[in-house]
Amino acid sequence: MNEIKDRDQLNHYLLAHRIDTIFNEQIKPYLSLYSFDEGEPICSQGEASQYLYVLVKGKIKIFTTSAEGKTLILSFKTPLEVIGDIEYVRDIDFINTVEAVSPVIMIGIHHQWLKKYGNEYAPLLQFLLEIITQKFHIKSNSMRFNLMYPVEVRLASYLLSVSFDDSDSLFKGEISTSTLPDAANLIGTSYRHLNRVIHRFCTNGLVERNKGFITVKDRKRLSALANHNIYE
């Protein structure tokens, strides 16, 4: 994580995402801009939650780890998204681990300033309420999606989620085969069946598997198969 000490750039993201008004003038001096490299953790499950983060550029992966060390990917997120909102409201440690999938930029604010200047500021509280309720809505849709749609559709959606970031033209179309066990867990199928479906995708020219990577060859057809990108 690196702090970007550029107030003009910070103000640009506030205005670009129309969140300038959710922070009052007392809080704004304490907002900071941070960058994270691809694969870098933003927060870890079980660690103390001290900051609220607002994702303004890039793509992140949210996952949880069991006591036995098994990892389950919960979702992928693009702007505008908030990390640490539930933890801030409930005053608890981070529930999940969040990792940068592509180069990421976040706005961060320490809890002490939120509590001092934001606890009674209606626009900020309304924003957090909307974000949290939206998460519950997306979770409901995701559970229904895993129950009602075949593995082919779920895998197509996963590949689109993890392989592309429309805000970064250099990041597109390729994932490591080492992530396939996580993919199987996320979409609710066995690793063996997932590989069978990937083989069919290769045969149909949707993807190519080579040298430890899976590369999307036909994004348009894959998008048509996915219907909509449920894992975003």
Are 140 and 174 part of one and the same domain? no
Kindly state whether residues 126 and 165 are assigned to the same domain.
no
* Residue 119 within a domain: yes
Q: Please indicate, yes or no, whether residues 115 and 12 belong to a single structural domain of this protein.
A: yes
Domain assignment present for 17: yes
Statement to judge: residues 82 and 185 lie in one domain: no
Q: Among the three residues 110, 126, 144, which one is the final residue of a domain in this structure? A: 144
- Residue 231: inside a domain: no
Q: If we measure between CA atoms, which residue out of 230, 99, 213, 101 comes closest to residue 165?
A: 101
Q: Tell me which of 124, 144, 164 is where a domain ends.
A: 144
Query: Are 83 and 172 part of one and the same domain?
Result: no
Domain of 57, in residue numbers: 2-144
One domain for residues 183 and 127: no
Same domain membership, residue 36 and residue 112: yes
Same domain, 41 and 124: yes
Q: Are residues 15 and 93 in the same domain?
A: yes
Regarding whether 192 and 130 lie in a shared domain, the answer is no
Which residues of the chain fall below pLDDT 70?
A: 140-147, 166-172, 228-232
In a domain, 67, yes or no: yes
- Domain-ending residue, one of 113, 144, 175: 144
**pLDDT score recorded for residue 21:** 95
Domain count, the chain: 2
Q: How far apart (Å, rounded) are the C-alpha atoms in residues 184 and 109?
A: 35
Query: Is position 204 within any domain?
Result: yes
Residue 59 lies in a domain: yes
Q: Please give the pLDDT value at position 147.
A: 62
Secondary structure of the chain as H, E, C letters: CEEECCHHHHHHHHHHCCCHHHCCCCCHHHCEEEEECCCCEEECCCCCCCEEEEEEECCEEEEEECCCCCEEEEEEECCCEEECHHHHHHCCCCCCEEEECCCEEEEEEEHHHHHHHCCCCHHHHHHHHHHHHHHHHHHHHHHHHHHHCCHHHHHHHHHHHHHECCCCCCCECEEEHHHHHHHHHHHCCCHHHHHHHHHHHHHCCCEEEECCEEEECCHHHHHHHHCCCCCC
Please indicate, yes or no, whether residues 162 and 187 belong to a single structural domain of this protein.
yes
The model's pTM: 0.76
Residues 106 and 27 in one domain: yes
84 is a domain residue: yes
**CATH for 183:** 1.10.10.10
- The CATH number of residue 79's host domain is 2.60.120.10
